[in-house]
Amino acid sequence: MNARPSNLRWLLIFWLFVLSAVAYLDRVNISVAAGAMARAYGLSNIQLGWVFSAFLVGYALFQTVAGSLARTFGPRRVLAAGVFWWGIFTALTASIPAGMGGALFLLLAVRFLLGAGEAVVYPASNQFIAHWIPRQERGIANGWIFAGVGAGAGFAPPLVTYMAIRHGWRSSFWLCATLGFLAGSVWYLLARDTPAEHPRVSRLERDNPRAGLDVGAQRSSSSDWLPWRVILKSKDVWAVTLSYFCYGYVAWIYFSWFYIYLAQARGLNLKASAFYAMLPFIAMAICCLLGGTVNDRLSKQYGLRVGRSILASISILGAGAFLALGAEVASARFASLVLAGGAGALYLSQSSFWSVTVDIAGTHAGPVSGFMNMANQIGGAVTSSLTPVIAKHFGWTASFLVAAGLCGLGALAWLAVDPERRLLRPAPQLRGAAALRSER
């Protein structure tokens, strides 16, 4: 075992795909069960939007905290703890009695805390990538992780619909929580924070690190941290963060409202809505893998600027075109296909966001990507609450056209991102005689 290289890193990346799928299964299940929940608790679409947004507010507020925890304590323990946390609050979502006073307030609190727990999943995954995955493989590695988004979100409509019809909507949440507990336990047993800590990593790999791997102590002293003033002065960080806000606004139309849109605006029945609501998420899963592969190949052949930035810009712009077209299509089924194409085009860019934060931040990828992802979730919180308001006053077509406009802004922001420009800690200030000699 110690004489030849292992492919253990890909097994761990696959399990991050599983955790990603469980995370999105646990957050999208509520949009599929929203109709039954609304009847049980007497909620309007706008109140449902508040519940959706509560999750995203919690998720957004704890992104940078999650990234810092992953760097301090390692992605193995932080991810395992996060999965158990969000499993508990997934189960609690379905445990609030329908006739209980203040049910809406309790739903808001539970979804907020669920979001806080899920905040660890992608910053911790990115911290793992910084230590395990070399630069030339980061595109496809992130592609696999975020393919879990499409897999989990796509699996939610048929699973929740099946469970709701046969056992009631609450049972689907308890099943999702159980799957999370199992997946988190396997991750804790299987993973380690760095290759050097894993007994199944070969001696050859330990002695000869792969090119482009960010090597560093997982639990560093405070003096090793990249100061936030350096991060917040980076135009690359701000540009990719702005783009990810736009991305999040668009993506969460699918996660929060697409199923309801098909049922209410397009008139599809329960089973048809469940089927067509799967299509965007299938497109997301396929295009995450495709985007990650293309990302790595273009980066190798033409450089990171083309592979990361230009690819992301073109993909997001294409998503906007699909959204604008799909909103105007008369046929419900054809509109579903076109809008699914928009989801796929959007997710062609997904690996670029997370790969570029590792490229520029190295072993500080957890905090930097957490900051970026905070903007994504703020965008999602805005769309979760704003979309039903726009739809009520201006129609569903206007909701999708607003999202298409934000795609244009997100695509433009990527043109300012240079993945080769690393974030560096400032040099220590010289003191005494050394400072005087420097001044001379």
61: helix, strand or coil: helix
Cβ contacts of residue 416 below 8 Å, gap of 6+? 235, 236, 239
Q: What is the dihedral of CA 139, 383, 118, 238, to 10 degrees?
A: 50
Under CATH, which number does the domain 9-195+229-424 receive? 1.20.1250.20
65: helix, strand or coil: helix
Compute the distance between CA of residue 134 and CA of residue 17 in angstroms, rounded to an integer. Answer: 18
Question: Are 251 and 310 a contacting pair, CB within 8 Å?
Answer: no
Which residue type occupies 37?
M
Give the model's pLDDT for residue 310.
96
Cβ contacts of residue 175 below 8 Å, gap of 6+? 159, 163
First to last CA, the chain: 58
Give the model's pLDDT for residue 430.
42
324: number of CA atoms within 13 Å, CB side? 12
Helix or strand holding residue 375 (H, E): helix 365-394
Compute the distance between CA of residue 321 and CA of residue 339 in angstroms, rounded to an integer. Answer: 10
Q: What is the dihedral of CA 339, 344, 345, 351, to 10 degrees?
A: 150
pLDDT (tens, 9 = 90+) of the chain, 440 residues, equals 444 546 788 999 999 999 999 998 887 788 778 778 888 888 887 888 888 888 888 888 888 888 889 888 999 999 999 999 988 998 988 888 876 777 888 989 999 999 999 989 988 998 898 888 887 888 889 889 988 888 887 777 788 878 877 888 888 889 889 999 999 999 999 999 888 888 887 665 555 445 455 544 344 444 567 788 888 899 999 999 999 999 999 998 888 778 778 877 777 765 676 677 788 888 998 999 999 999 999 998 999 999 999 999 999 999 999 999 988 888 878 888 899 999 999 999 999 998 999 889 887 887 888 899 889 988 988 887 888 889 888 988 899 999 999 999 999 999 999 999 988 766 655 444 444 343 34
Give the model's pLDDT for residue 183.
93
Compute the distance between CA of residue 126 and CA of residue 132 in angstroms, rounded to an integer. Answer: 10
Question: Are 364 and 226 a contacting pair, CB within 8 Å?
Answer: yes
Nearest Cα neighbor of 54 from 122, 113, 140, 102 is: 113
Question: Are 335 and 206 a contacting pair, CB within 8 Å?
Answer: no
Compute the distance between CA of residue 391 and CA of residue 67 in angstroms, rounded to an integer. Answer: 35
Compute the distance between CA of residue 124 and CA of residue 100 in angstroms, rounded to an integer. Answer: 37
Compute the distance between CA of residue 435 and CA of residue 440 in angstroms, rounded to an integer. Answer: 9
DSSP letters spanning 127-155 = HHHHHHS-GGGHHHHHHHHHHHHHHHHHH
Which residue type occupies 20?
S
**Cα separations (Å) of 156 from 28, 31, 160?**
6, 9, 6
Give the model's pLDDT for residue 407.
96
Which residue type occupies 122?
Y
For residue 171, give both structure tokens.
């049972």
Question: Are 150 and 300 a contacting pair, CB within 8 Å?
Answer: no
Total-model pTM = 0.74
Tracing tokens 């957890």 back to the chain, one arrives at 366
218: helix, strand or coil: coil
